[in-house]
Amino acid sequence: MCMRFVVPLALRRKIVILIDQDLLTPSQAGEEKDELFENNLKQVHKCVAWVVENVVRKNSDHIFLASIIKEDRFFEPAVLSEIFNNVLTNQDEKIDKRTIIESIFEKMAANLSAKDVSCTAEVSSDPQITEADIAASHKAGLIVAVPADPGLISRTLYLDWAEQLVRNGPTPTMILKGAQLDDSLLTDF
């Protein structure tokens, strides 16, 4: 009989995968198919699959899936969609970002658990919380940042949150872009 040794969470290396809210929420309210959202979700899944395949040690690591909902960005796709819907079409549909992200994370965590990867998820909407705060609260040994592609103006004027974490973060940080990863990662995920 073979006994399997399980490392308690307190002794596991913590890997915090911070995913930009723009990749996890639809760009438009309503039931219509949102191809941008589907593509973004595919990119996120590829990033998580890459981390599991190349970084995670199943018996001694724990993944925290995390995202921060920031409501203060006027030119965010979901906000622009709501404005368009409300002004031009008289619709009052709202995108419930928290519920959508929690649902995605719940499915991802279940998928990872089925592969014997220890995983939990966190969605924060506290405007005082930063990505570095989340990493510090989980005592991260590694941060994996999955940012959305910034627009031309954003890229020109300032560093996005992922680049700030690489430069000033409390923990080693890597940035993953799903578009640069091979689709074959999704076969087992």
So what's the pLDDT on residue 88? Answer: 54
Residues 6+ apart with CB under 8 A from 136: 170, 171
Q: Which residue has the higher pLDDT, 29 or 19?
A: 19
pLDDT digits (tens, 9 = 90+) for 39-97: 999 999 999 999 999 999 988 999 999 999 987 554 545 555 555 555 555 554 567 89
Q: Which residue has the higher pLDDT, 73 or 107?
A: 107
Please say if the pLDDT value at position 1 is more than 70. no
Integer-rounded Cα radius of gyration of the chain: 17
So what's the pLDDT on residue 169? Answer: 84
So what's the pLDDT on residue 125? Answer: 92
Rounded distance, CA 31 to CA 87, Å?
19
So what's the pLDDT on residue 9? Answer: 83
Please report, as a single letter, which amino acid is at residue 3: M
Q: Is there a contact between 77 and 39 (Cβ–Cβ < 8 Å)?
A: no
Kindly report the pTM of this predicted structure.
0.83
Per domain, the residue ranges of the chain are 9-188
At the second CATH level, the architecture of 9-188 is 3-Layer(aba) Sandwich (3.40)
Q: What DSSP designation does 176 have?
A: -
Find, among 106, 29, 113, 25, the residue nearest to 68 by Cα. 25
Please say if the pLDDT value at position 5 is more than 70. no
Find, among 179, 174, 153, 154, the residue nearest to 162 by Cα. 174
So what's the pLDDT on residue 27? Answer: 74
Q: What is the mean pLDDT of residues 167-183?
A: 89
pLDDT digits (tens, 9 = 90+) for 127-162: 899 999 999 999 999 999 999 886 655 555 567 889
So what's the pLDDT on residue 51? Answer: 96
Q: What DSSP designation does 129 have?
A: -
